[in-house]
Structure 1
């Protein structure tokens, strides 16, 4: 397979790999299709937040394959892009010696919302939509 036909490998990183990086992965898989091979991971992985699954499902995006993973096993892998989606991860991101580019796209942490269930869901939807828009713009810029 020539480089022109090889998928662009993208890794989204966040602290827990429970919300933002999962949303970014799902949206790039959706909007980028076979042009991208997408993964996500966290510095301190937890469990995928149920509200992440809910807001992605509302858009009809598949979520069954999403699971929180740690970053350490991925450090030596080859990625075209390593994209951090939160300031904390950007500040503490390990070096990926085989990554071509590193980008920082900071989004609010929806899991940090401490209001009512309805208000928390609205924060998850807002962040989901912001990530979705950023992914669509980025994919269009690379087309």
Structure 2
């Protein structure tokens, strides 16, 4: 299965993560371990909730299932609502997730569709763009900021037990260029690799 091969690749390439970045991820794991609750909710936040935050939500969800951490639940949100970008869906499909082909179109009649991403045959996550105040999010969570803009423009999140900076370069910079597919794949793999590395440390 394509996704299982991708997971094995991500788990076998931790050496490409810099020591500095590993320290950041180790710090995040320590913070997660300090939450003494039966369920720990992670909400990944970027400005438009269209690319990085969705990639993080999906990969941290898959990694938590891979390591059998059923107490971890993942979500994503933004400081404003747009839609999950088709390029985000395309790279996830390339890595082994399944999604209806109609959601890959740039011009949909639905402004912000709820997209079901399936994996391993019988598991799925429903993704759509939402703000940090959306009622689909849990009442308490750890806010993980995946872009610097959201971190600056979302200075206070009342529901967050704490917030953590884990930023990534926006693959949007490659949209419309010959480097687009490769850039999205690199970013998705970076996020996925770091999710598997971090959760491999969780006790």
- TM-score, normalisation: structure 2: 0.62
Aligned to 1:38: 74
> Which structure: larger Rg?
2
Deviates further, 86-95 or 21-30: 86-95
Alignment root-mean-square deviation, CA: 2.2
| Residues 105 and 4 of structure 1: CA distance in aligned 2, closer, same or farther (over 3 Å) | closer
- TM-score, normalisation: structure 1: 0.85
- Measured against aligned partners, the alpha-carbon deviations of 1:92-139 in whole angstroms (never above 9, x if no partner) come to 2242334223111110111232452x4111111111011111111221
Cα distance between partner residues in 2 of 1:58 and 1:114: 17
Q: Which runs of 5+ in 1 are unaligned?
A: none
Cα distance between partner residues in 2 of 1:53 and 1:109: 15
Which secondary structure state, in structure 2, belongs to the residue aligned with residue 95 of structure 1? Answer: coil
**Pick from 102, 125, 130: which aligns with 2:190?**
130
Q: How far off is 1:23 after superposition? A: 0.2
Count of residues paired in the alignment: 139
Q: Does the 8 A contact of 1:12 with 1:25 survive in 2?
A: yes
Cα distance between partner residues in 1 of 2:77 and 2:155: 12
Q: How far off is 1:29 after superposition? A: 1.0
Aligned to 1:69: 130
